[in-house]
Protein backbone atom coordinates (compact mmCIF):
# COMPACT_ATOMS: atom_id res chain seq x y z
CA UNK A 1 0.00 0.00 0.00
CA UNK A 2 1.38 3.40 -0.98
CA UNK A 3 2.34 6.06 1.54
CA UNK A 4 -0.39 8.40 0.16
CA UNK A 5 -3.05 5.75 0.74
CA UNK A 6 -1.80 5.19 4.28
CA UNK A 7 -1.94 8.89 5.15
CA UNK A 8 -5.44 9.46 3.64
CA UNK A 9 -7.34 8.57 6.85
CA UNK A 10 -5.22 11.04 8.81
CA UNK A 11 -6.29 13.84 6.47
CA UNK A 12 -10.09 13.36 7.14
CA UNK A 13 -11.63 16.20 9.29
CA UNK A 14 -12.51 15.28 12.86
CA UNK A 15 -16.04 16.86 12.43
CA UNK A 16 -17.81 16.45 9.13
CA UNK A 17 -19.67 19.33 7.53
CA UNK A 18 -22.90 17.35 7.74
CA UNK A 19 -22.50 16.94 11.50
CA UNK A 20 -21.79 20.64 11.95
CA UNK A 21 -24.89 21.59 9.97
CA UNK A 22 -27.07 19.24 12.01
CA UNK A 23 -25.64 20.59 15.24
CA UNK A 24 -26.25 24.19 14.18
CA UNK A 25 -29.82 23.34 13.14
CA UNK A 26 -30.50 21.68 16.49
CA UNK A 27 -29.12 24.70 18.34
CA UNK A 28 -31.33 27.01 16.26
CA UNK A 29 -34.42 24.92 17.00
CA UNK A 30 -33.64 24.94 20.72
CA UNK A 31 -33.18 28.72 20.63
CA UNK A 32 -36.54 29.19 18.91
CA UNK A 33 -38.23 26.85 21.40
CA UNK A 34 -36.65 28.72 24.32
CA UNK A 35 -37.98 32.05 23.05
CA UNK A 36 -41.42 30.54 22.36
CA UNK A 37 -41.60 28.99 25.83
CA UNK A 38 -40.57 32.28 27.39
CA UNK A 39 -43.25 34.23 25.49
CA UNK A 40 -45.89 31.58 26.15
CA UNK A 41 -44.92 31.48 29.82
CA UNK A 42 -45.34 35.22 30.18
CA UNK A 43 -48.70 35.10 28.33
CA UNK A 44 -49.94 32.15 30.38
CA UNK A 45 -48.71 33.66 33.63
CA UNK A 46 -50.44 36.95 32.87
CA UNK A 47 -53.73 35.21 32.11
CA UNK A 48 -53.47 33.09 35.25
CA UNK A 49 -52.91 36.23 37.33
CA UNK A 50 -55.82 38.04 35.66
CA UNK A 51 -58.13 35.10 36.47
CA UNK A 52 -60.76 36.22 33.97
CA UNK A 53 -60.21 39.94 34.58
CA UNK A 54 -58.94 42.34 31.93
CA UNK A 55 -57.40 45.80 32.15
CA UNK A 56 -58.50 46.67 28.60
CA UNK A 57 -60.58 49.84 28.42
CA UNK A 58 -61.84 49.13 24.89
CA UNK A 59 -65.55 49.86 24.77
CA UNK A 60 -68.17 47.15 24.31
CA UNK A 61 -71.55 48.17 22.85
CA UNK A 62 -74.55 46.14 23.99
CA UNK A 63 -78.23 46.34 23.14
CA UNK A 64 -80.40 45.23 26.05
CA UNK A 65 -84.11 45.42 25.34
CA UNK A 66 -84.88 48.94 24.10
CA UNK A 67 -81.62 50.44 25.38
CA UNK A 68 -78.09 50.51 23.96
CA UNK A 69 -75.21 50.92 26.40
CA UNK A 70 -71.44 51.09 26.07
CA UNK A 71 -69.09 49.92 28.82
CA UNK A 72 -65.29 49.54 29.07
CA UNK A 73 -64.18 45.91 28.92
CA UNK A 74 -62.51 46.10 32.32
CA UNK A 75 -65.85 46.87 33.99
CA UNK A 76 -67.56 43.77 32.54
CA UNK A 77 -67.28 40.92 35.01
CA UNK A 78 -67.48 37.85 32.76
CA UNK A 79 -65.32 37.26 29.63
CA UNK A 80 -68.30 35.68 27.81
CA UNK A 81 -70.10 39.05 27.92
CA UNK A 82 -67.24 41.12 26.48
CA UNK A 83 -68.49 41.33 22.90
CA UNK A 84 -70.64 43.75 20.93
CA UNK A 85 -74.24 42.91 20.09
CA UNK A 86 -77.57 42.08 21.64
CA UNK A 87 -77.55 40.71 25.19
CA UNK A 88 -80.10 39.64 27.77
CA UNK A 89 -78.01 41.17 30.53
CA UNK A 90 -74.53 42.35 31.46
CA UNK A 91 -72.75 41.95 34.80
CA UNK A 92 -70.37 44.67 35.94
CA UNK A 93 -68.03 45.19 38.87
CA UNK A 94 -66.66 48.54 39.99
CA UNK A 95 -64.30 49.68 42.70
CA UNK A 96 -65.89 52.03 45.21
CA UNK A 97 -65.68 55.02 45.38
CA UNK A 98 -63.67 55.51 42.16
CA UNK A 99 -66.28 53.67 40.04
CA UNK A 100 -63.43 52.23 37.97
CA UNK A 101 -63.03 48.75 36.52
CA UNK A 102 -60.09 46.37 36.87
CA UNK A 103 -56.65 47.92 36.41
CA UNK A 104 -53.01 47.67 37.42
CA UNK A 105 -53.42 50.18 40.23
CA UNK A 106 -56.42 48.55 41.88
CA UNK A 107 -56.10 44.88 40.88
CA UNK A 108 -55.92 43.66 44.47
CA UNK A 109 -59.45 44.95 45.06
CA UNK A 110 -60.59 42.45 42.41
CA UNK A 111 -58.05 39.63 42.92
CA UNK A 112 -57.99 39.41 46.72
CA UNK A 113 -61.27 38.14 48.18
CA UNK A 114 -60.36 39.79 51.48
CA UNK A 115 -60.66 43.17 49.75
CA UNK A 116 -63.81 42.42 47.74
CA UNK A 117 -65.97 44.47 50.11
CA UNK A 118 -64.59 47.47 48.23
CA UNK A 119 -66.44 46.41 45.07
CA UNK A 120 -69.95 47.11 43.82
CA UNK A 121 -71.57 44.45 41.62
CA UNK A 122 -74.17 45.41 39.02
CA UNK A 123 -76.52 43.29 36.93
CA UNK A 124 -78.19 45.21 34.11
CA UNK A 125 -81.12 43.66 32.24
CA UNK A 126 -84.41 44.62 30.62
CA UNK A 127 -87.04 45.42 33.24
CA UNK A 128 -89.48 42.63 34.05
CA UNK A 129 -91.40 44.66 36.64
CA UNK A 130 -93.11 48.00 36.29
CA UNK A 131 -91.67 49.30 39.57
CA UNK A 132 -88.17 49.38 40.99
CA UNK A 133 -87.41 48.64 44.64
CA UNK A 134 -88.47 52.08 45.85
CA UNK A 135 -91.72 51.76 43.91
CA UNK A 136 -92.43 48.37 45.49
CA UNK A 137 -92.27 49.67 49.06
CA UNK A 138 -95.96 50.48 49.45
CA UNK A 139 -97.67 47.89 47.23
CA UNK A 140 -95.48 44.93 48.20
CA UNK A 141 -92.94 45.33 51.01
CA UNK A 142 -95.27 47.18 53.38
CA UNK A 143 -97.42 44.02 53.55
CA UNK A 144 -94.42 41.86 54.43
CA UNK A 145 -93.14 43.94 57.34
CA UNK A 146 -93.76 42.84 60.91
CA UNK A 147 -93.18 44.75 64.11
CA UNK A 148 -92.42 48.41 64.59
CA UNK A 149 -89.85 50.28 62.55
CA UNK A 150 -86.49 50.74 64.29
CA UNK A 151 -84.05 53.64 63.94
CA UNK A 152 -80.88 52.33 62.33
CA UNK A 153 -78.06 54.71 61.46
CA UNK A 154 -77.00 57.14 58.74
CA UNK A 155 -80.57 58.33 58.28
CA UNK A 156 -81.90 54.80 57.68
CA UNK A 157 -84.84 53.05 59.30
CA UNK A 158 -84.90 49.26 59.78
CA UNK A 159 -87.96 47.13 59.07
CA UNK A 160 -88.07 43.41 59.82
CA UNK A 161 -89.63 41.13 57.21
CA UNK A 162 -91.90 38.23 58.12
CA UNK A 163 -90.16 34.88 58.36
CA UNK A 164 -92.55 33.41 55.79
CA UNK A 165 -91.91 36.23 53.28
CA UNK A 166 -89.13 34.24 51.60
CA UNK A 167 -86.29 36.70 52.09
CA UNK A 168 -84.06 34.45 54.18
CA UNK A 169 -83.07 36.66 57.08
CA UNK A 170 -82.94 39.92 55.13
CA UNK A 171 -84.15 43.20 56.61
CA UNK A 172 -85.50 46.22 54.80
CA UNK A 173 -83.78 49.58 55.25
CA UNK A 174 -85.50 52.76 54.12
CA UNK A 175 -84.76 56.47 54.11
CA UNK A 176 -86.65 59.59 53.12
CA UNK A 177 -85.26 61.26 49.99
CA UNK A 178 -86.04 64.91 49.42
CA UNK A 179 -88.00 65.41 46.21
CA UNK A 180 -88.13 61.69 45.36
CA UNK A 181 -89.44 58.29 46.46
CA UNK A 182 -88.08 56.67 49.60
CA UNK A 183 -84.77 54.88 49.35
CA UNK A 184 -85.21 51.13 49.88
CA UNK A 185 -82.53 48.44 50.18
CA UNK A 186 -82.58 44.83 51.41
CA UNK A 187 -79.65 43.61 53.51
CA UNK A 188 -78.46 40.59 55.44
CA UNK A 189 -76.84 42.43 58.32
CA UNK A 190 -73.78 40.78 59.89
CA UNK A 191 -73.62 40.05 63.60
CA UNK A 192 -70.61 42.38 63.84
CA UNK A 193 -69.39 45.00 61.33
CA UNK A 194 -66.14 43.12 60.66
CA UNK A 195 -68.17 40.20 59.27
CA UNK A 196 -69.82 42.24 56.51
CA UNK A 197 -69.82 40.39 53.17
CA UNK A 198 -69.03 41.87 49.77
CA UNK A 199 -72.62 41.87 48.53
CA UNK A 200 -74.90 41.55 51.54
CA UNK A 201 -77.04 44.56 50.52
CA UNK A 202 -78.97 44.80 47.26
CA UNK A 203 -81.19 47.33 45.55
CA UNK A 204 -82.54 47.85 42.04
CA UNK A 205 -83.33 51.04 40.13
CA UNK A 206 -84.77 51.83 36.70
CA UNK A 207 -82.55 53.59 34.17
CA UNK A 208 -82.97 54.57 30.54
CA UNK A 209 -86.01 53.46 28.58
CA UNK A 210 -86.40 50.01 30.05
CA UNK A 211 -83.35 48.94 32.06
CA UNK A 212 -83.33 47.45 35.52
CA UNK A 213 -80.03 47.94 37.36
CA UNK A 214 -79.72 45.57 40.30
CA UNK A 215 -76.66 46.34 42.37
CA UNK A 216 -75.06 44.72 45.40
CA UNK A 217 -72.62 46.24 47.86
CA UNK A 218 -71.21 45.55 51.30
CA UNK A 219 -73.19 46.62 54.35
CA UNK A 220 -69.92 48.16 55.56
CA UNK A 221 -70.67 50.97 53.07
CA UNK A 222 -74.22 51.70 54.24
CA UNK A 223 -73.05 55.12 55.44
CA UNK A 224 -72.56 55.97 51.74
CA UNK A 225 -75.97 54.69 50.60
CA UNK A 226 -77.03 57.99 49.05
CA UNK A 227 -73.72 58.52 47.25
CA UNK A 228 -73.62 54.93 45.96
CA UNK A 229 -77.13 55.18 44.56
CA UNK A 230 -76.40 58.47 42.79
CA UNK A 231 -73.02 57.24 41.47
CA UNK A 232 -74.53 54.10 39.95
CA UNK A 233 -77.31 56.04 38.24
CA UNK A 234 -74.81 58.55 36.83
CA UNK A 235 -72.43 55.77 35.72
CA UNK A 236 -75.08 53.90 33.72
CA UNK A 237 -76.87 56.95 32.34
CA UNK A 238 -73.59 58.42 31.08
CA UNK A 239 -73.10 55.27 28.98
CA UNK A 240 -76.57 55.12 27.47
CA UNK A 241 -76.40 55.59 23.71
CA UNK A 242 -80.09 56.57 23.58
CA UNK A 243 -79.61 59.06 26.46
CA UNK A 244 -83.09 58.53 27.89
CA UNK A 245 -82.18 59.77 31.35
CA UNK A 246 -84.41 58.78 34.26
CA UNK A 247 -85.11 60.69 37.40
CA UNK A 248 -84.68 59.08 40.83
Neighbours of 196 (CB within 10 A): 20
Confidence check: pLDDT of 215 > 80 = yes
Q: What is the rounded average pLDDT of the residues 97-112?
A: 94
The pLDDT-based confidence of 202 (bands split at 50, 70, 90) is: very high
Exposure of 197 by Cβ count < 10 A (0-12 exposed, 13-18 middle, 19+ buried)?
A: middle
Q: Report which of residues 208 and 5 the model is more confident about.
A: 208
Taking every pair of C-alpha atoms in the chain, what is the biggest distance, in angstroms? 123
- Residue 93: which of 107, 104, 83, 84 has the closest Cα? 107
The string of pLDDT tens digits covering residues 112-124 is 888 899 999 999 9
- Residue 172: which of 207, 209, 208, 147 has the closest Cα? 147
The string of pLDDT tens digits covering residues 21-40 is 666 666 665 555 544 444 43
Confidence check: pLDDT of 7 > 60 = no
Amino acid sequence: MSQAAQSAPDEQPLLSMRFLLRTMAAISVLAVLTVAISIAGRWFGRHISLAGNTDSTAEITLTIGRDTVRFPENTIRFPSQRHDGAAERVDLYLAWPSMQGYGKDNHLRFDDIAQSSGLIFLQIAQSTMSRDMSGRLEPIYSHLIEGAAEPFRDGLTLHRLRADAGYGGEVLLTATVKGGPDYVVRCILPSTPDKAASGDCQRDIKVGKDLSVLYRFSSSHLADWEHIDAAIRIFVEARLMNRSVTSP
